[in-house]
Every structure is written in structure tokens, then in C-alpha cells.
A and B are shown apart, each in its own frame.
Chain A
Amino acid sequence: MATSVQRWWHKLVWPWSPLSEREASEAIVRNLWLHWFPAKVSGRSMSWSYSLWLGTVAASLFVILTVTGVMLMFFYVPSTERAYGSIKDLQYAVSFGRILRNQHRWAAEGMVALVFIHMARVFFTGAYRGARVLNWLVGVALLLLTLMLSFTGYLLPWDQLAYWAITVGTNIASEAPVLGPTFKYLLLGGHFVGQQTLLRFYVLHVFFLPAVVWILFAYHMWRVRKDGGLAAIEPLRAMRRAEPKEMPRSKSYSLFGLTPGTSVAVMSSMGLEERDQVASSPNLTRRMILVFLVVFNITLLLSLLVNAPLEGPANPSVTPNPAKAPWYFVWLQELVASTTVHLGKVTISGGLVGGILVPGVLLAALILWPFFDRSTVSAEGVWFARERTRQNVVFAVITVAIIILIIVGMYLRGPYWRLYWPWSPRPVLPRVL
């Protein structure tokens, strides 16, 4: 039964199946879409438990975002007069408009989270060591770009939530010494969030940032291959290298007498053996399609169940109480608020601590960490290697602290930025009628 279902399935959706190893390798090399895969991939890199496929999940989200984003561009008008109305049209009148926007929104929120979780995986498996340090740096850049993509997209609906989140976010940025105010002015195209800001954020969001992300993403993938695949193979590679190898028999003389033996032994770039690997086609491609399908289904399900937030139209004269930055920046807002000190009539702003010092130090740490990591090869490509326990604890503690600050900022901060337990009543804010 199972085999006949499988056969029919193959006939329907999988019209071609490689008959030999060679055919499978050629399929990968010759195909435009597949050529960035190696012809063969190690079983360990393919496992669910090592990578959790988080990078593929993040990339799948980015593909969904690109496709839904291009479709949204057909309807969205980046002007302060019409932006909000065009989102309302999407929500109420355009066929599948609501689901399209929901999917774009949830995929975007998901991508911010997933890119970070992917980075955490790389950290906990010590996968940034050695040659992979460059790809780690590319990854850090991709994380920052993802945050910027999400932040620029946040403004586009031009509702109260968008307007004030961007106002709060750019105010935090302006706390940077010397360059802060200039950076804010450059980003906003003025001193306040307005038409210039909307246009700048739009261009950054739909063209500049996605283009950079696509280029860096391609480079990120290429580096994975250049570095010999996922770090998961490193323990195996070390094992294979240690195994004594028989030199191939040859009639030739030694190469100019410089190399020992009678032949030049060339190791495969991966340093693995046939038995450690499987053909990328169809094993890797099938699993990638599966991951993409799962991600697509989750975003679609979420889009059917939960609507993307949309509040009243942006109103510069009415500040929501409280006004909050987007969730991935709300921990900074929380830091700014909790480090602001009132001494009598004098207020010392926490902007420098929460807006600049903490994020600056954390970013510097992310960039420099691999260069100070003294762990050995045996800690590479292994989850929670004992040798790296101290490093992993530091990373985990900082991550948990950020998550706690996000939860406090998002769920416990109520009107007048006071703390409320979820079950405690919050003051009723005055209305017009």
C-alpha cells in the first residue's frame, strides 16, 4: 500500500528520480536552483537534531516575505494620505488581501525570532570557529539587516502603533553620542516622523535592505560550502583524518621528489568518506521542500487565526498610553526607562545606557567573540560542549535577560509605563465619548 502511494506520488509531483549517483550529482551541479548545494552531503548535517534546520526556516520565511511583499507592493501607496487607507483596503476589500498582509506580518516577526535562534544554535554548537568565523560575521550582519527590515516595515501601515513605535525607536537611536541626532535626522528625513520618513523607510524596506539581504544570504550559503559544510561534520572529519589511510598505488614517481610516497594523495574537500554521505538530490532537496512546506503552513495557519495588528490612523497629536517600540526593541526601551534616574527636579536619561551602551557592547561582543574563543576543535559542531560551558552560560544568561525585558516591556508595562501584573486591573484611560 505504502509503496503504491509512494509510486503515485512520485508520478504526480516527483517526475524524475536519479538512477545513479552520477546522475544525482549532475542534477545538483547543472541546475540553477540547486547548484549552491554540494553534490553530496553528510548525514549528520541533514539530521534534525543538530541544526534544527533553523537557517532553512529563516530562509524560508524570507522567501515567503519576498513573495508576499512583492504582492503587497501592488496595493500599498507610500504616502501619508493614502498609506493607511491602502492597508485598510487590503484588510477589507482586496481579495486575499488580509491573509497576504497577515502572512507577511507573521513571517516578519518569525524571521526576527528565527534568525536570532539560528544564531543561538550556531553559538551553542560552537560552529563559528576556525574558517567559519567569516560566516558568523556575515550572520551577525544578516541579523542586523533583519532587524532593520522589520523596523522599516513596521512604519508602513501608518497607524498609531507604527507611528509611535518608530518615534520611540528613533528616539532611542538619537541617544548615541555625537552621531545620534544626525543619524535620527538622516533616517527620518527631518526632526519628526513624516512623509519623508515614510518614503525613506519604504525604499529601504522594499528595495535596498532586501537586496542587501539577498546578496549576503547568497554569500552566507556559499561560505557554508566553502567551509566544508555545517560544523556538524567536524567531529566526524577529525575522526576520519585520524584513521590511517592507504595510499593509492601508482606507477608514477614522486612529484619532483618533494612529496613522500609514490603518488599525490588528495583528500576530498570535506574529508569524509563515501559511507558518511548521501546524494543531495533528492535527499537534501526533499527535506528542504519539507521544511519550507512546514514553515509555509505554520505562517498560513497563523494568518488564518490571528490578524496583523492595525490601530487607528497615525495621529501625531495623540500619543498612545503607553507608546511602545516593536517587541524586538522593547527590551532597549525597558532598559532606557528603568535606567532613567529622577533626582529631585533633575532627570538623568537612561538613553545612553539602554540606547547605546548595552546594545553597543552586546554587538561588539557578538562580533569579537569568535576571536577570543579559546576552545579546541573537539568543541566544534557539538551541542553544549563541556569545554564551552562557561561561554554558553554567558550567552544563555544574556539571552534570558533580554527575553525577560521583552516580556516585561510587552506585557507588564501598562498606562504611564507603570508595571502591572497580567491579572491586576489597569486604569481605564479617558475617552472622548
Chain B
Amino acid sequence: MNTLVAHVKEIKSVENLNIVKFDFEGVTLSMMSLELPESVKVGAKVKLGTKATHIAIAKGFSGEVSYSNQLHVKIIHVDNGELLSSIKLQAESTSLESIITRDSSDRMNLHVDDEVTAFIKANELSIVEVL
């Protein structure tokens, strides 16, 4: 699982549903969640997690997209399998992995050092641990 260390910036709640905003090295991330542990409050340092299969990649992206989390990243490694590709990304000081189809990797012509955008939906980000 990919992990990112971030700080809780804001928590909005309706009954037991929450949208939590985090500061990840200057970038704002959003997470959808049901009940939160009490230790998750504004200012708390947390380890966020998302699976490699939950990270989408866009190259030369323009326009609007509903993904709440958009990180400008650089490709540091491409491992093309027969059907799937593992793309390693550098996001600020953190490295992330994205699993996409080999077809997408070929179609987008992804290479090391490409500057791309990583997309993560708010419901696919979770708090692994409060630090």
C-alpha cells in the first residue's frame, strides 16, 4: 500500500459522514470517511494510505475532473508486465506506485522522467495510522 504522511487541516461532518482535508507537503488532499477515531483532529499528523490500483495517471492533462486528489509527480520507474504496468512516482519526498493496464501505459507512452498527474478519489484514501 502507498503511504503518505500528512497533517489534518479541516474536518467537515454531517452525522457520521466526514470529509477530511489534509496538508501533504503543501498539497491539499481530501478523504471521505464514516466515523473517525477521536485522535483524528485538526493538526494531527497521520499516515494516509491508498492502494496502487487506486491511483490513476494523466499526462498533459487539461480540463476538469472530479478526482479530489491531484498530485503533480514525476515517473521514476516503469515496470511493464504482460497485462499490467507498475509505475513508480515521486510525489514531493514520497514515492508512490500506480498499477495501470499495460495498454494504458503504452497508449500514454509513459517513460521515466515524464511529468504526470496522479489522481486519487477521496473515498480511496484512508487513514492508516495517527502518528
A, B from the same assembly: no
